[in-house]
């Protein structure tokens, strides 16, 4: 039986609402719950009559996942609104299994399918089971995977056969992880399906290795000009790094990608004693901060908070000691950083950088609610 076999639907649900043995104080938990309620109320005020947010399946999927972990989800009328949103996502299903509107140039079929699949798996409605299976098959297809180097490495890009990058690969691996049981017994009696999934994981793990600044496991040419203090961090794309290297401007690692890389290593069942995991954690200790997305400043700050919270929750660290020996109660610090930035209407938006669409409150508020959901 594969080491990636997930035993029950309950186990999957537990993963999707990551919990940890560490506990917030009553005061911090109260602040978190208040922020969730206000944020969910804002998001619900922006839902469109057809159930969508911004007419986009992926943003809708992020919104419903954020709201589901808030106190507002206990209300029957809110659950009805979430069901309407899930119906909108399900209607995006295409014959090839992707979950995206082919008429919409913003749809990015692979990216959108990954996020929508995570959402559908979280709610696990009986009516969506065929769509969930088909979407998983799509992410495992040659149409979604992109070869990026010799040696069999393959990551995921925004669309079909596009340049692979760590951001899309991380979303896809999370989607594959939470649906992994579908290719295992007793859910699937076809051993070839499990073999295909295992091969995809092996190729993706090689891609992750190519994205990490770690000479012990990565001999990619882009490392030749990488800064010494960047060891262990992850970059966005090794293909992009080679292009930058040609102009002698090597890409540095940055926070959201390093947390995404570490999270993906965890999903790939890489041991905490593995040099790739240990080096990534050492990078995190060196650059620990909640003031910015280290390496790129204000850009992608809220997505950084999400990867920060989800990854450290998966790693199950009660506290994190930085490179200077300072011990951080990172959950409390994360709640403080989030609450301090909440706007009067309950939303969050990146006022300092609109890069990666973070000036859109619907998107950014969804990231934040998902973050609060995994650390509560």
Identify the residue with better confidence: 327 or 144: 327
Rounded Cα distance between 37 and 115, Å, is 23
Provide DSSP, 75-104. SHHHHHHHHHHHHHHHTTB-TTS-BS-TT-
pLDDT at 144: 83
Please, which residues have CB within 8 angstroms of residue 273's CB and are 6 or more apart in sequence? none
pLDDT at 101: 80
Is residue 336 predicted with pLDDT exceeding 70? yes
Phi-psi region of 270 (alpha: psi -120 to 50; beta: other; left: phi over 0): beta
Is residue 222 predicted with pLDDT exceeding 90? no
Of the candidates 123, 117, 111, 122, the one whose C-alpha atom is nearest the C-alpha of residue 136 is 117
For the domain spanning 9-375, the CATH number is 1.50.10.20
pLDDT digits (tens, 9 = 90+) for 74-115: 999 999 999 999 999 999 999 999 998 877 656 689 999 999
pLDDT digits (tens, 9 = 90+) for 175-217: 999 999 999 888 887 888 899 999 999 999 999 999 999 999 9
Rounded Cα distance between 61 and 55, Å, is 11
pLDDT at 105: 59
Rounded Cα distance between 79 and 1, Å, is 37
The pLDDT-based confidence of 150 (bands split at 50, 70, 90) is low
Mean confidence (pLDDT) of the chain: 89
Q: Give strand ranges (E) for 236-361.
A: 320-321, 327-328
pLDDT at 158: 83
Which tokens in the block code for residue 319?
A: 């506290």
pLDDT, average across residues 346-371: 96
C-alpha triplet 288, 63, 113: angle, nearest 5°:
90
Q: Domain-by-domain residue ranges, the chain?
A: 9-375
pLDDT, average across residues 246-271: 85
Identify the residue with better confidence: 91 or 154: 91
pLDDT, average across residues 328-344: 98
pLDDT, average across residues 29-45: 98
pLDDT, average across residues 129-149: 87
Neighbours of 357 (CB within 10 A): 15
pLDDT at 250: 52
Q: Is the pTM of this model over 0.85?
A: yes
pLDDT, average across residues 40-64: 97
Of 102-106, 227-231, 276-280, 325-329, the poorest mean pLDDT is in 102-106
pLDDT at 2: 45
Q: What proportion of the chain, given as a percentage, has pLDDT over 90?
A: 73
């Amino acid at each position: 039986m594969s080491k990636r076999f997930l035993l029950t639907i309950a186990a999957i649900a537990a993963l999707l609402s990551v919990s940890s043995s560490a506990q917030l104080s009553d005061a911090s938990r109260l602040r978190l719950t208040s922020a969730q309620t206000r944020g969910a109320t804002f998001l619900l005020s922006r839902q469109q009559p057809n159930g969508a947010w911004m007419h986009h399946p992926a943003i809708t999927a992020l919104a419903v996942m954020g709201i589901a972990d808030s106190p507002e989800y206990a209300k029957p009328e809110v659950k009805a609104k979430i069901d309407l949103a899930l119906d909108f996502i399900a209607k995006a299903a295409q014959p090839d299994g992707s979950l995206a509107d082919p008429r919409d140039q913003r749809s990015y079929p692979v990216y959108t399918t990954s996020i929508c699949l995570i959402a559908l798996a979280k709610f696990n409605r009986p009516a969506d089971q065929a769509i969930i299976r088909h979407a998983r098959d799509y992410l495992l297809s040659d149409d979604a995977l992109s070869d990026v180097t010799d040696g069999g490495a393959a990551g995921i890009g925004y669309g079909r056969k596009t340049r692979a990058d760590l951001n899309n690969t991380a979303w896809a691996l999370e989607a594959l992880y939470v649906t992994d049981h579908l290719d295992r017994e007793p859910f699937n009696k076809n051993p070839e399906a499990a073999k295909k999934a295992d091969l995809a994981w092996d190729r993706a793990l090689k891609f992750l290795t190519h994205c990490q600044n770690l000479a012990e496991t990565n001999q990619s040419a882009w490392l030749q000009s990488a800064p010494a203090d960047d060891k262990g961090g992850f970059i966005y794309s090794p293909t992009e790094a080679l292009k930058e290297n040609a102009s002698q401007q090597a890409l540095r690692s940055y926070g959201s990608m390093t947390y995404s890389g570490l999270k993906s290593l965890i999903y790939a069942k890489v041991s905490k004693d593995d040099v790739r995991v240990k080096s990534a954690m050492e990078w995190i200790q060196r650059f620990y901060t909640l003031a910015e997305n280290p390496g790129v400043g204000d850009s992608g700050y809220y997505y950084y908070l999400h990867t920060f919270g989800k990854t450290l929750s998966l790693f199950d660290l009660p506290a994190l000691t930085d490179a200077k020996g300072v011990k951080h109660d990172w959950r409390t610090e994360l709640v403080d950083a989030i609450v301090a930035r909440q706007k009067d209407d309950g939303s969050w938006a990146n006022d300092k950088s609109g890069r990666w669409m973070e000036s859109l409150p619907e998107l950014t508020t969804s990231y934040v609610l998902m973050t609060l959901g995994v650390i509560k």
